């Protein structure tokens, strides 16, 4: 820990009453990674048994896992940050307080409660979370709005990530405690929400364009 | 003008070397409003003459006008802000410098070069501008990706507006020189990019869902 009572960068960041983290990195990462594995596995097993009117494709079953995991991230792991402005100074920190203390090593704007971060998290928790859950249902029930919904949420996630990186760049690009945290948390963790939404959005774009292409051919 | 050498709120805002605005409100608003009228009128007239394979619907012709106007806003009126960080202190201000001096009366974060604003404008100019222009072409050429493209850009505009309002709220909601500027610029001007994208996105959502609904019925 630096001379400023916290382990974050920049060192000038003021966090009065900072309570050091109790959980180790492994204790923080394990429940999050476990949620990811359980969500994908659970969705895979359940979706293999349901499916009125023909089986769901493997891609759709994997996508249900992704949407379940991203919904749990937006609706379980992120809201505590939003509703606990004093998470870094709470005397009896819970798992989520320590989660955001750990993540702040990769982006101290979380501990600093930067406006752009709070706005992003509010929109993510309020809109993308429920919409991700709806996507699980839409795929399972083969709703006609399934593709446009998945496209909309993916685009929102991509827009959010772009905003996240651009604001970090404009504000000096110096919010990580070390290169390890830069690559592991700021780049690594967030790249999940860049790579997968890009794949999902591209797939939905193609399926939607194909539906109109087919429509055009048929009506000629 | 206040005692701080500028007419903006909050008065504590520091704008060293501020050069007072030369153009009147009418001189600033007229070219912008004129662009809107010319874009919609021009697109209407041209689209009435083109259209291989059947006429374009009235809605599509009006939408071409909207996309042309919004493209011109993103690609002509907004880039000067992005590339002129010193617009408020330039000795020989041009139209665009004065445009953003006037708009800053409704949101002084423009003059202050707030990170969230610069990030939003960068994304708008770099992505939404070219994509809006592509939407004009996609409608005219009846491309199969027309609806998903219009949906994508509209959703980006809505996401941007939401972010714009949420960051203003989080930062104290006090960036307008008077209630007039709050309602006319901060609310009024931006509501155009809330109301129209909502209508466009809803329409595209319905058309896309209907295409998959029809597909489902046919393949049964």
Contact A204, A154 (CB under 8 A): yes
- CA-based angle A160:A164:A170, to the nearest 5? 140
| Cβ contact A146–B210 (<8 Å) | no
Instruction: Give the tens place of pLDDT for each residue, A142-195.
Output: 999 999 999 999 999 999 999 999 999 999 999 999 999 999 999 999 999 999
Instruction: Give the tens place of pLDDT for each residue, B198-214.
Output: 999 999 999 999 999 87
Residue B105, in any domain of the structure: yes
Which residue in chain A has the smallest CA separation from B202? A148
Burial A89-124 (b: 16+ CB within 10 A, else e): eeeebeebbbbbbbbbbbbbbbbbebbbbbbbbbbb
| Dihedral Cα B116, B122, B127, B129, nearest 10 deg | 110
What's the gap in Å between the CA of B1 and the closest CA on chain A? Answer: 29
Instruction: Compute the mean pLDDT over every residue in chain B, rounded to the nearest whole number.
Output: 94
* Best mutation target, B163, B173, B205, to test chain A (most A CBs within 10 A): B163
In a 3-state reduction of DSSP, which class is residue A85? coil
pLDDT of residue B46: 93
Instruction: Compute the mean pLDDT over every residue in chain A, rounded to the nearest whole number.
Output: 94
Least confident of A28-37, A48-57, A141-150, B92-101: A48-57
What are B57's two structure tokens? Answer: 């619907």
pLDDT of residue B108: 98
Q: Going by C-beta distance under 8 Å and a sequence separation of 6 or more, which residues neighbour residue B186?
A: B106, B107, B168, B175, B176
Instruction: Give the tens place of pLDDT for each residue, B125-161.
Output: 999 999 999 999 999 999 999 999 999 999 999 999 9
Residue A19, in any domain of the structure: no
pLDDT of residue B4: 77
Instruction: Give the tens place of pLDDT for each residue, B11-70.
Output: 999 999 999 999 999 999 999 999 999 999 999 999 988 655 578 999 999 999 999 999
What's the gap in Å between the CA of A17 and the closest CA on chain B? Answer: 23
Residue A11, in any domain of the structure: no
List helix spans (H) across A56-128.
58-72, 79-83, 95-103, 109-112, 115-123
Task: Band the pLDDT of B218: cuts 50, 70, 90.
Answer: low
Comparing CB atoms, the residue among A118, A146, A148 nearest residue B151 is A148
Percent of chain B beyond pLDDT 70? 94
Prior bond to B10 cis, omega within 30? yes
What are A10's two structure tokens? Answer: 């920049």
pLDDT of residue A55: 84
| Cβ contact A163–B122 (<8 Å) | no
| Dihedral Cα B87, B89, B91, B95, nearest 10 deg | 30
pLDDT of residue A1: 54
Instruction: Give the tens place of pLDDT for each residue, B172-183.
Output: 999 999 999 999
Residue ranges of B 52-91 with Cβ closer than 8 A to chain A: none
Partners of residue B200 in chain A, C-beta under 8 Å: none
| Cβ contact A212–B166 (<8 Å) | no
Residue A81, in any domain of the structure: yes
Residue B171, in any domain of the structure: yes
| Cβ contact B166–A216 (<8 Å) | no
Residue B16, in any domain of the structure: no
| Cβ contact A208–B208 (<8 Å) | yes
Residue A172, in any domain of the structure: yes
How many CB pairs lie under 8 A apart between chains A and B?
Answer: 99
What's the gap in Å between the CA of B53 and the closest CA on chain A? Answer: 10
Partners of residue A167 in chain B, C-beta under 8 Å: 115-116, 119
Q: pTM score, two decimals?
A: 0.95
| Alpha-carbon distances, residue B117 vs A14, A133, B75, B104, B114 (angstroms) | 25, 31, 16, 12, 5
Structurally, how many domains does chain B consist of?
Answer: 1
Contact B89, B15 (CB under 8 A): yes
pLDDT score of B88 more than 80: yes
- Residue showing tokens 């155009």: B192
pLDDT of residue A49: 82
| Cβ contact A156–B152 (<8 Å) | no
Task: Band the pLDDT of A214: cuts 50, 70, 90.
Answer: confident
CA atoms in the 13 A half-sphere facing the CB of A149? 23
Q: Which domain holds residue A108?
A: 25-219
Residue B102, in any domain of the structure: yes
Comparing CB atoms, the residue among B120, B148, B209 nearest residue A209 is B148
pLDDT score of A220 more than 90: no
Contact A154, A132 (CB under 8 A): no
Partners of residue A170 in chain B, C-beta under 8 Å: 115, 118-119
pLDDT of residue B220: 45
Q: Does B145 touch chain A (CB under 8 A)?
A: yes
| Cβ contact A167–B119 (<8 Å) | yes
Comparing CB atoms, the residue among B142, B167, B212 nearest residue A211 is B212
Which residue in chain A has the smallest CA separation from B205? A148
pLDDT score of B1 more than 60: no
Partners of residue B144 in chain A, C-beta under 8 Å: 209-210, 212-213, 216
Among candidate residues A215, A128, A131, the one with its CA nearest the CA of residue B146: A215
Contact A148, A166 (CB under 8 A): no
What's the gap in Å between the CA of B95 and the closest CA on chain A? Answer: 26
């Amino acid at each position: 820990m630096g001379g400023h009572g916290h382990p974050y960068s920049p060192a000038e960041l003021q966090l009065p009453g900072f309570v050091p983290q109790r959980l180790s990195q492994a204790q923080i990462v394990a429940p999050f990674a476990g949620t990811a594995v359980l969500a994908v596995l659970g969705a895979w097993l359940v979706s293999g048994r349901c499916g009125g009117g023909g089986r769901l494709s493997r891609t759709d079953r994997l996508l249900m896992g992704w949407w379940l995991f991203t919904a749990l991230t937006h609706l379980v792991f992120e809201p505590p940050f939003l509703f606990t402005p004093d998470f870094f100074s709470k005397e009896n920190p819970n798992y989520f307080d320590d989660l955001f203390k750990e993540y702040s090593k990769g982006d101290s704007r979380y501990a600093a409660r930067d406006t752009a971060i709070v706005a992003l998290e509010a929109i993510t928790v309020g809109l993308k979370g429920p919409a991700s859950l709806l996507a699980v249902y839409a795929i399972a029930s083969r709703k006609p709005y399934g593709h446009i919904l998945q496209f909309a949420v993916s685009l929102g996630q991509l827009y959010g990530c772009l905003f996240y990186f651009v604001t970090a760049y404009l504000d000096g690009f110096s919010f990580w405690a070390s290169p390890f945290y830069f690559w592991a948390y700021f780049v690594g963790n967030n790249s999940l929400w860049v790579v997968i939404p890009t794949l999902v959005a591209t797939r939905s774009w193609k399926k939607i364009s194909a539906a109109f292409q087919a429509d055009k051919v048929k009506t000629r």
